[in-house]
Amino acid sequence: MIAYRLARLAVVLLVVTFLSYVLLNLLPGDPTTQMLGLSATEEARAELRRQLGLDQPLLVRYGAWLGGLLSGDFGTSPITRVPVAEELVERLPVTLELLVAAEVLALGLAVPAGVAAARRAGRALDQALTALGFALLSTPVFVVGVLLILLFAVTWRVLPATGWTPLSVDVGWNLTSVLLPAVTLGCAQMAVYARLLRTDLIATLQEDYITLARARGLSPRRILWRHALRPSAISLVTAVGLNLGALIGGTVIVETLFGLPGVGRLIVDSIFSRDYLTVQGCVVLISVGYVLVNFAVDLVYAAVDPRIRRA
Amino acid sequence: MRRRTTLLASLALVALTACSGPRPVAGPQAPSSGTASPTAGGRLVYGLSADAAGFNPVTDQFSSQTYSMVGTMVETLVSVDASGAWKPNLAQSVTPNSAADEWTIKLRQGITFSDGTPLTGEVVLANFKAQQASPLTSSVFGPVLSAELADPMSVKVKLRQPWVAFPYHLAAQIGMVLAPASLADPDAAGRAPIGTGPFTLKQYVPDSRMVVTRNPTYWRKGLPYLDEIEFRILPDGQTRAQTLEAGGLDAMGTTRDEDVVKFGALKDSYTVHRPKGMAVAEYMFMLNTAAAPLDDVRVRRALAHATDRAAVIATVRSGLTEEADGPWSKDSPWYDAGGDYPGYDLARATSLVKEVEAEKGPIAFEVLSPPDPSTMAGVELAQDMWRKAGVDVTIRQADQADLINRAVVGDFQATVWTQFSSPDPDGEYVWLHKNYAQPVGSVALNFSRLRDVQLSDALDSGRSNPQPEVRKKDYATVQRRLRELVPFVFVDHLDVGSVIATTRVRGIVDQTLPDGDRRTPLTGAPVPYHPFTQVWVSAK
């Protein structure tokens, strides 16, 4: 089972890194433009291309990078002259914390909202939560971010507008610096999760065994939280795993908006400066993360629904 | 009820956490002076729109943001005063021979780098050699024949040709002097350069912040005023402005006209500093004079005639800027009104287009633009104006790296462009001289590929002639030829790039050079930069 998953991970990595390498190389321009600027001579550019190996065919360069990766070497960025692995280690905690905080906030708000909407399906609260959900889904991330900054930082001055304090420096300030970005990132996810849970919960509440439980006199709260919620959470758990990609995409915007030094910012900067090695490092990191999270989701299925475990 | 109480308690906890403890973005305040006299101490948080690609002036491409950051640690041999004239900085004097083809740079005594190494002629010579060998900066050293030690504190630079504006180049990246330890380890210097500057590096987190702290052994007595500066990297212009409003920043650089308007109206709380004179870059459309249909001067003139500069300024600059008709603004000492720049005249534009179309058929071309919305708005406006004159224009989006690459090899017909902010007109030599124009497909620094003998001769004369009145005449010729040949459709002098600070931040534009002259207040484009040596914070 694990060997099969590892093999699948290797294939995913190979395909994703190759495609991203090819796509990046299809972009016009190369790192020499960023490194030498406007005033460099043709000879200087050609020499730098040779030094960086950019005069080699694409497949040769990809092969060399892959060979390095197999021995644990992500390469060194020609732009910053810093090892890519070092850069990723510096940036990963920021993005990881942002992702976890966004998921926790989204789930923490979506579960009660979904349950409340399902319990009162079709009534005023359900309609209000549905309207709020659609509003959050249809509002772009950057608009949510700007509005939150306007309210919490500019008007009320209770949270910092931008900037990042690492967890290791100050826990309190770390939490305040991650709160607005996490809410911004988690808003749309919250709406999706609440809608999914509401729909599945309404269906579950119409199952025969729920009717039987009611007939046996179990309290509505016990039926809802104990017997209906778990089987209704399968779609939600799946969505959490699948939405990781959307969340990572969102970090690119949120990290830029709030000035957070995470992997999202690194990807954007590296693409603009044609820093192929750093982009490849980020792609590997995200691919591995995505596969691992979905592996974890598979394990959670079994915990949520015993029928899957038995199968 | 209990859940509601828990929720309220959680919110209160969050609020309490937000307001408790020392907030990392705000440091110790300067004591209240109550007067306009500078006060030592304090911490400044300064917002920048982009991080540096590296801090090593020998190996890393510098943007204006990089100059802001590195300028606190590494200093230049020469600086520029408020009148636009070059003045010695680390150098005590910079003296030419009678032909201006040999310059002797004599250094001030008693200057040390922050690691304790003394600044000597030998160190400056080693910096020159490193710059000359660097692919990044070697082209600027083209006219330099050799550099040698004249005495322990002087370096003699021999040139291939007379070059009266040579010292101006020492006020920029190639004039920055690194300590021997930084020259020996370029990678380390890329992250933590050692210089003679008023501050030393305390912390650098890429894409987040750089903190510099006061250099206790700084050679200018009593300076700097500030104890610490934190540069905060905030790429999004709107959130940067909101952070300033929220008190998370003391000052910031911006290119947004809405910031200039908004903070400019709040005079009690903020000061807005905008560049002037030669420091202001021009916003324009650069035309490839070697590619059809823009190789025909009539088409280029038609485009200029069709461009309603006033409408562009009113629409995308909130009416803040001045119309441009050449590379230098009217408040520059080098400005000359000579020549006939094709001003807005749609009828004339249409007539020129018809004339060309009768000979060569329909006129169509592509204009490049970076994909950011504010730049695109200006380009779309121009596209609409040019279409009214009968020219079929399509817009192609190109990110910065692609756009620069295309400009360098001539793979474009027209592109939106910002340039011309050198303190001396000679700084524009390589961008305009015919010797730097190459056919399409070859790397050329003269991107418009205009090969004009009169213009090039005037640039040569301006470079080599020491008489100011002769130089003035030469650069008048340059401006006249640019207006006649229209390799650029000038739009405006882009002085909305500015520094905005809270009123407690003082001294941004009131700084002096080591010999007492007033320093040029702001330099660079699109966001101007300035030194921090004499910036101070008032509690008031």
pLDDT band at B223; cut points 50, 70, 90: very high
> A34–B53: do the CB atoms touch at under 8 Å?
yes
Q: What is the mean pLDDT of residues B13-25?
A: 37
Cα B463 to Cα B181: distance, rounded to the nearest angstrom: 35
Q: What is the mean pLDDT of residues B193-207?
A: 96
Show residues of chain B in contact with A182, CB under 8 Å.
none
Here the ipTM equals 0.85
Do residues B243 and A153 lie in contact, with contact meaning Cβ atoms separated by under 8 Å? yes
- Which DSSP string corresponds to B74-104? --BSEEEBTTS-EEESSEEEEEE-TTSSEEE
Show residues of chain A in contact with B21, CB under 8 Å.
170, 172-173
> B246–A265: do the CB atoms touch at under 8 Å?
no
> B402–A27: do the CB atoms touch at under 8 Å?
yes
pLDDT band at B12; cut points 50, 70, 90: very low
The CA distance from B74 to the nearest CA of chain A, in Å, is: 19
Show residues of chain B in contact with A157, CB under 8 Å.
246-247
The CA distance from A82 to the nearest CA of chain B, in Å, is: 8
Reply yes or no on whether the pLDDT at B14 is more than 80: no
Stretches in chain A below the pLDDT threshold 50: none
Q: Are strands B199-205 and B281-287 parallel, antiparallel or unpaired?
A: unpaired
Lowest mean pLDDT among B13-22, B147-156, B373-382, B435-444: B13-22
At B25 the pLDDT is 33
Which phi and psi angles does B424 have, rounded to 5°? -125, 145
Show residues of chain A in contact with B243, CB under 8 Å.
149, 153, 160-163, 259
> B402–A28: do the CB atoms touch at under 8 Å?
yes
Picking from A28, A41, A164, the nearest residue to B139 by CB comes out as A41
| Alpha helices, DSSP H, located in chain A | 2-26, 31-36, 42-52, 58-70, 84-119, 124-138, 141-148, 171-204, 208-215, 220-222, 229-232, 234-242, 244-258, 263-272, 276-304, 306-310
At B139 the pLDDT is 81
Q: What is the mean pLDDT of residues B314-339?
A: 94
Reply yes or no on whether the pLDDT at B164 is more than 70: yes
Cα A158 to Cα A163: distance, rounded to the nearest angstrom: 14
The CA distance from B416 to the nearest CA of chain A, in Å, is: 15
- Which DSSP string corresponds to B102-168? EEEEEEPTT-B-TTSPBP-HHHHHHHHHHHHH-TTTGGGGTTEEEEEEEETTEEEEEESS--TTHHH
Best probe of the A interface among B239, B244, B433, by most A CBs < 10 A, is B239
Q: Are strands B281-287 and B505-506 parallel, antiparallel or unpaired?
A: unpaired
> A44–B138: do the CB atoms touch at under 8 Å?
yes
pLDDT band at B73; cut points 50, 70, 90: very high
Cα B397 to Cα B413: distance, rounded to the nearest angstrom: 13
> pLDDT digits over A83-95, tens only?
999 999 999 999 9
Judged by CB atoms within 8 Å, which residues 393-452 of B form the interface with A?
A: 398-402, 404-408, 430, 442-443, 445
Q: What is the mean pLDDT of residues B441-454?
A: 93
> pLDDT digits over B99-145, tens only?
999 999 999 999 999 999 999 999 999 999 999 998 888 888 889 99
The CA distance from B445 to the nearest CA of chain A, in Å, is: 6
> A257–B236: do the CB atoms touch at under 8 Å?
yes
Reply yes or no on whether the pLDDT at B2 is more than 60: no
The full set of domains in chain B, from first to last, is 31-73+198-275+495-540 (3.40.190.10), 278-493 (3.10.105.10)
Percent of all residues in chain B with a pLDDT value above 90, rounded to a whole number: 82
> B399–A272: do the CB atoms touch at under 8 Å?
yes
> pLDDT digits over B358-387, tens only?
999 999 999 999 988 889 999 999 999 999
CA B331 to chain centre: 18
> B205–A153: do the CB atoms touch at under 8 Å?
no
> B19–A158: do the CB atoms touch at under 8 Å?
yes
DSSP state of B57: T
> A160–B205: do the CB atoms touch at under 8 Å?
no
Which one, of A218, A217, A213, A286, lies nearest residue A249 by Cα? Answer: A286
Do residues B507 and B536 lie in contact, with contact meaning Cβ atoms separated by under 8 Å? yes
Q: How many CB pairs under 8 A join A and B?
A: 172
DSSP state of B433: -
Which one, of B109, B81, B108, lies nearest residue B517 by Cα? Answer: B81
Which phi and psi angles does B115 have, rounded to 5°? -90, 5
> B208–A82: do the CB atoms touch at under 8 Å?
no
Q: What is the mean pLDDT of residues B255-266?
A: 95
Best probe of the A interface among B62, B208, B262, by most A CBs < 10 A, is B208
> B243–A153: do the CB atoms touch at under 8 Å?
yes
Continuous segment of H or E residues that includes residue B254: strand B251-254
CA B139 to chain centre: 19
> B17–A44: do the CB atoms touch at under 8 Å?
no
Show residues of chain A in contact with B443, CB under 8 Å.
41-42, 45
Q: What is the mean pLDDT of residues B13-17?
A: 37
Do residues B455 and B478 lie in contact, with contact meaning Cβ atoms separated by under 8 Å? yes
Reply yes or no on whether the pLDDT at B24 is more than 70: no
Q: What is the mean pLDDT of residues B52-80?
A: 94
Closest CA in chain B for residue A267? B207
